[in-house]
Chains A and B, each alone.
Chain A
Amino acid sequence: MNSFLALYAGQVSRVRAARGPLLFVATLQSVGILLLLRGVVDEGSRTTSQQVVAGSTVLVVAFVALNLLAQRFGMLRGTGALDHFATLPVSGGLVVLATAASYATFTIPGAVVTGVLGSLLYGLPLGHLWVLALVLPLAGASLAGLGACLGLLAPRPELATVAGQLGMSGVLFLGIIPENRLPGVVQAVRAVVPSTYATDALASSFSRQLDAGLLLRDLGVCFVVAVVALSLASAAFRRAVRA
């Protein structure tokens, strides 16, 4: 725990310098999408509204966890900085988790603003927004694990950036468009993308009646994916050090 807190404190200090732009961009793009789609989504289309608000909120996490972490770990690998962590008695998974947690700290305001503003804009109930407190760390950890994998496995830092961007676009596309409007093949892709379960869990919280079983299933999937993704990131870390 001491190691995690030390890494977290160090990373928070590092990210703090760029927190203004980070917060602004992460929030602005999601709020922008909410505003844009407000003019498209029909007033009574509750399922679509829930999906748009939940997808936009998870996008804040995806921006940081997939996009920025892919960039960060691509840069660490490209500059040989991984040796520093590899020669300290900490696991690669812990480095990924602490880095992700530090970035995620600065996305909390953006995710909350997006969730609340979205609910108000689309007339959704706010009573179960506490679900966001579970979705944020679980979605953050699973997407951060994948983002770190992209950064650590990409042969060049630029490719890591591109992969992170594409991943974020995937989260946006699959998260915001309701499942029943997607073609069959894309529905299958949606079913295996981890952000789907975070989005669905959050979307269900915008109902008046919360389906606890469904919520637990979605959060359970997020948890399992988070564990697998961080394990993969840990292995990718070891591989990248030796490359």
Chain B
Amino acid sequence: MTVTAAAPPRTVAVSVQGLRRTHRGGVLATDDISFEAVAGEVFGLLGPNGAGKTTLVRLLVGVLRPDAGRVTLLGREVTADSRAASRVLAYLAQDEPALNELPVGLAVETTGRLRGLSKTDARTATTSLLDELSLGALRDRPLCKLSGGERRLAQVATCLVGDRPLLVLDEPTTGLDVSARRAVWEVLRRRRTESGTTVVLVTHNVLEAEQVLDRVAVLDRGRVIACDTPGRLKALVSDDVRLDLVWRDEPPLDDPVVAALAARSEIAGRRWSARLTAADAREALGNLTSGSALAALDDFTLATPTLEDVYLALGGSGRDLERS
């Protein structure tokens, strides 16, 4: 007899339904946005600058009141109620100027106490967090005296203290070098594995989205244009590849292969980027490398699709998603 264990119920940690917010002046910042994140998931909001990501997370954490729609966190409606939301979540804004003049240790400890830890527990948690993020040596230095990357890492520590079941992080790794960025990803992964923490992470970095997120909502001009796992989203454009070219000098536009590519490329100075079917890319590359255009070519790369390609294929209009 075969016994099949029933899958554990998936608890919805974050439920956003029909969120709409218009800024003063009539600019529609978020337009009927809905999504759900289940407990223990790292859910991402990916989009270029101006896509409405920050407005969306400020609605999510209750500091902004939506024109329509509602937010439910861990089963409790908290729409426009940041006090109620603050009992279950910790929020890391894009910048945290309120803490800038405090020493790192005190900033983390104070935030922990405000999240309900006793003074002793907050101090213990601070020591542990600073060690985990390799910030122990900076404990007594004010945040404003740190480098941008160190400061951001200290701000991440203030968000993590108090062990909230939901973390909402607005571009937490902006300004971090690769090793610090990986340290943040590792810390988030550990929280998820050990405590079942749910993470909503805003990013405009494609690499971060692909490496860290379980599921991602792709935003463009205040709307969700796609929402799925990074793998499934990339499968939408799996037949395509991206051909990147760098020209040494002026590209030889009189060459018909080059002229045809020019019409299908995003051009930024001497850097061209074309999204092609695999067969077209193979043919174009063959013609380029065997013809006279090769002499003018400085470098080329052929890459499988990224979430940036998904974003562009779905009609995304921004051009400032980061790739590294």
Contacts and interface: CB of A to CB of B under 8 A. Distances in A.
B103 A83 contact: no
Interface of A: 2-3, 5-7, 9-10, 13-14, 17, 76, 79-91, 241-242
Contact-residue size bin, chain B (C-beta under 8 Å from the other chain): 35 or more
Given A7-B110, A17-B101, A241-B63, A2 B119 contact: yes
A9 B123 CA distance: 14
B314 to A, nearest CB: 31
A242 B80 CA distance: 9
Contacts of B107: 10
Contact of A2 (B63, B97, B111, B118): B118
A3 B114 contact: yes
A14 B64 CA distance: 28
Contact of A89 (B106, B116, B118): B116
A88 B115 contact: yes
B102 A14 contact: yes
B243 interface: no
A62 to B, nearest CB: 24
A10 B110 contact: yes
A13 B102 contact: yes
A161 B114 CA distance: 29
B114 A83 contact: no
For the residues of B in contact with A, the DSSP-based class is mixed
Contacts, number: 82
B96 A6 contact: no
A106 B86 CA distance: 31
Interface of B: 58, 61-65, 80, 82-83, 85-87, 89-91, 93, 95-99, 101-103, 106-107, 109-111, 113-116, 118-119, 122, 142
Contacts of B97: 76, 79-81
Nearest to A15: B101
A6 B64 contact: no
For the residues of A in contact with B, the DSSP-based class is helix
B101 A88 contact: no
Nearest to A14: B101
A70 B104 CA distance: 26
A186 B224 CA distance: 59
A13 B103 contact: yes
B103 A241 contact: no
B114 A87 contact: no
The 7 closest A-B pairs by CB, nearest first: A6-B113, A81-B98, A84-B98, A10-B110, A87-B91, A81-B97, A79-B97
A81 B86 contact: no
Contact of A6 (B91, B99, B114): B114
Contacts of B65: 242
Contacts of B103: 13
Nearest to B65: A242
A86 B82 contact: yes
A87 B113 contact: no
A3 B64 CA distance: 24
Contact of A83 (B63, B80, B106, B122): B63
Nearest to A90: B114
16 contacts: A2-B118, A3-B114, A10-B102, A10-B107, A10-B110, A14-B101, A81-B96, A83-B61, A86-B63, A86-B82, A87-B82, A88-B111, A89-B83, A89-B87, A242-B64, A242-B65
Contacts of B102: 10, 13-14
B111 A87 contact: no
A80 B106 CA distance: 21
B86 A76 contact: no
Residue with the highest number of chain B CB atoms closer than 10 Å, among A10, A86, A87: A87
A17 B106 CA distance: 14
Given A241-B63, A242-B63, A89 B98 contact: no
A170 to B, nearest CB: 29
B95 A89 contact: no
B93 A84 contact: yes
Contacts of A6: 109-110, 113-114, 119, 122
Nearest to A17: B101
Contacts of B93: 80, 83-84
A132 to B, nearest CB: 30
A85 B98 contact: yes
Contacts of B106: 9-10, 13
Residue with the highest number of chain A CB atoms closer than 10 Å, among B80, B87, B98, B118: B98
